Chain A
Amino acid sequence: DTGVSQDPRHKITKRGQNVTFRCDPISEHNRLYWYRQTLGQGPEFLTYFQNEAQLEKSRLLSDRFSAERPKGSFSTLEIQRTEQGDSAMYLCASSLALRRTGANYGYTFGSGTRLTVV
């Protein structure tokens, strides 16, 4: 297992276009998270999946954003009608939650997708 993979690494798009990012988590991990990181800031939580169920969405995730995790494996994050303010690094992370307690003790992050909206 090579860790968490994100594709593409970089994406430049024109304002108003739609973009989709993919995240492949560590295969045995049942939780998957999306974060957004802008320049000079720490990552901010966007959304989280437990298996295929999307259990929480941040208020940062406007109606133009949608995330899926079909079959509880890879996940996609789509941004419709991109705006310049969407320019950021989008980070995916996965973790294994213990079945008995539900606890998990640390994420593995991917290398991120850097989005530039021009």
Chain B
Amino acid sequence: AQSVTQLDSQVPVFEEAPVELRCNYSSSVSVYLFWYVQYPNQGLQLLLKYLSGSTLVESINGFEAEFNKSQTSFHLRKPSVHISDTAEYFCAVSYTSGTYKYIFGTGTRLKVLA
């Protein structure tokens, strides 16, 4: 069975500071990895994904995540955050075949302070 652990339920950070949101997963088979962002009272938006190839993936708004197979991690980073980055961030894994259903972590609430 797969599982996803997001150890930090809340991360406060000052504007323009760097941030790292941690994600570790457990799986006995190959997985796809995703980060989603959720703004209040909205659905989830795909931030970035790792399917194969380069272990470093980037989003269009400055976030990046690195797949580390040996540490079974997929941490999300941004070198300089903005107030508008305040949201809930979810890490997810899916099987690479079959239903492709996602297993989500419990989420990390990023609060950017002025």
Contact = CB atoms under 8 A, between A and B. Distances in A.
Interface residues of B, number: 26
User: Size band of the A side of the interface?
Assistant: 20 to 34
Nearest to B107: A42
Given A42-B90, A48-B99, A104-B100, A112 B43 contact: yes
Contacts of A111: 41-43
Contacts of B34: 106
B106 A103 contact: no
Given A45-B101, A55-B99, A112-B43, A105 B49 contact: yes
A102 B12 CA distance: 40
A105 B31 CA distance: 11
B99 A103 contact: no
Interface string A4-21: 101000000000000000
A91 B30 CA distance: 26
A103 B92 CA distance: 17
Given A4-B43, A43-B90, A91-B44, A107 B97 contact: no
B32 interface: yes
B102 A43 contact: yes
A33 B90 contact: no
Residue in B43, B51, B102, B106 with the greatest tally of chain A CB atoms within 10 Å: B43
A56 B43 contact: no
A69 to B, nearest CB: 15
Contact of B44 (A43, A45, A55): A43
Interface of A: 4, 6, 31, 33, 35, 40-45, 48, 55-56, 91, 93, 95, 97, 102-112, 114
Interface of B: 4, 9, 32, 34, 36, 41-46, 49, 51, 90, 92, 96-97, 99-107
21 contacts: A40-B106, A40-B107, A41-B107, A42-B4, A42-B104, A43-B44, A43-B90, A102-B97, A103-B100, A104-B100, A105-B51, A106-B34, A106-B46, A107-B46, A108-B46, A109-B44, A109-B45, A111-B42, A112-B42, A112-B43, A114-B41
